[in-house]
């Protein structure tokens, strides 16, 4: 199975900061990677699909990049409503789909 | 509006069974693959199972293979997950989600607790 290593596991930043989360796959997954946001007590929501495509309706401060084994998720200017846990997810090989372990983002 | 409504969770004893349902509305259900993803308390997301749009192909995580069965009724716009031989480690919130490789939207989740 393909393993996804996401870092950091937690992150504290100030409003307006640029925030970056990384995800590394255990093997080449091309661009078969999605990013999700999960707010406390809520279901996840897809933000970025195919590594760099912004889901309809998602603010442009969110972006993704990368291919192969190394991927990056960026919030260009952190807003209070961005407090959530973020997950990467690969789908190069189904089954199984695998998720990263998550990054909990807090406001400093 | 696209909507998924999960139901069927509850408390069940180890070795017991439960069937989850996911009622879909606001889109052509029969045109989409559907999936189940679970989240143990305080833990991350774990993919459980996927079924293709027609229902002809199904996929399972190794952790549930042989115990869980995914199915769908396209005439009722409903997705199911039959869970047998439940174990304590199956305790989680179970979400249905539209999609085979990228999941969205998601249901609100239904809590399954396996405990004696």
Are the beta carbons of B110 and B20 closer than 8 angstroms?
A: yes
Among the listed residues A100, A95, A67, the one whose alpha carbon sits nearest the alpha carbon of residue A1? A95
Q: How far is A98 from chain B (nearest CA, A)?
A: 7
pLDDT for B71 equals 98
Within 13 Å of residue B79, how many CA atoms lie on the same side as its CB?
A: 33
pLDDT (tens digit per residue) in B17-43: 999 999 999 999 999 999 999 999 999
Supply the DSSP symbol for B102: S
pLDDT for A93 equals 75
- Chain B residues with CB inside 8 Å of A98's CB? 47
Contact check, Cβ <8 Å, A95/B59: yes
pLDDT for B22 equals 98
Render each residue's pLDDT in chain A as its tens digit; 108 residues: 999 999 999 999 999 999 999 999 999 999 999 999 999 999 999 999 999 999 999 999 999 999 999 999 999 999 999 999 999 999 987 789 999 999 999 999
Contact check, Cβ <8 Å, B47/A34: no
Q: How far is A33 from chain B (nearest CA, A)?
A: 9
pLDDT for B83 equals 98
* B44 touching chain A per CB within 8 A: yes
Residues of chain B short of pLDDT 50, as ranges, are none
């Amino acid at each position: 199975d393909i393993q996804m290593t996401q870092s950091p596991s937690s992150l504290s930043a100030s409003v307006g900061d640029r925030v970056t989360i990384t995800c590394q796959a255990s093997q080449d997954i091309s661009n078969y990677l999605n990013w999700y946001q999960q707010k406390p007590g809520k279901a996840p929501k897809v933000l970025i699909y195919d590594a760099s495509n912004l889901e309809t309706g998602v603010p442009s401060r969110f972006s993704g990049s990368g291919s192969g084994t190394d991927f990056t998720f960026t919030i260009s200017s952190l807003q209070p409503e961005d407090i959530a846990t973020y997950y990467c997810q690969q789908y190069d090989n189904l089954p199984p789909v695998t998720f990263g372990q998550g990054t909990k983002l807090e406001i400093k | 509006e696209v909507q998924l409504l999960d139901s069927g969770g509850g408390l069940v004893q180890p070795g017991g069974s439960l069937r989850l349902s996911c009622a879909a509305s606001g889109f052509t259900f029969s045109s989409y693959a559907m999936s189940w993803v679970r989240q143990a308390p305080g833990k991350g997301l774990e993919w459980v199972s996927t079924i293709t749009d027609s229902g002809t192909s199904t996929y399972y995580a190794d952790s549930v293979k042989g115990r869980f069965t995914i199915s769908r009724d396209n005439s009722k716009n409903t997705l199911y997950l039959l869970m047998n031989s439940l174990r304590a480690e199956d305790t989680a919130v179970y979400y249905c989600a539209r999609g085979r490789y990228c999941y969205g939207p998601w249901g609100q989740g239904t809590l399954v607790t396996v405990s004696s």
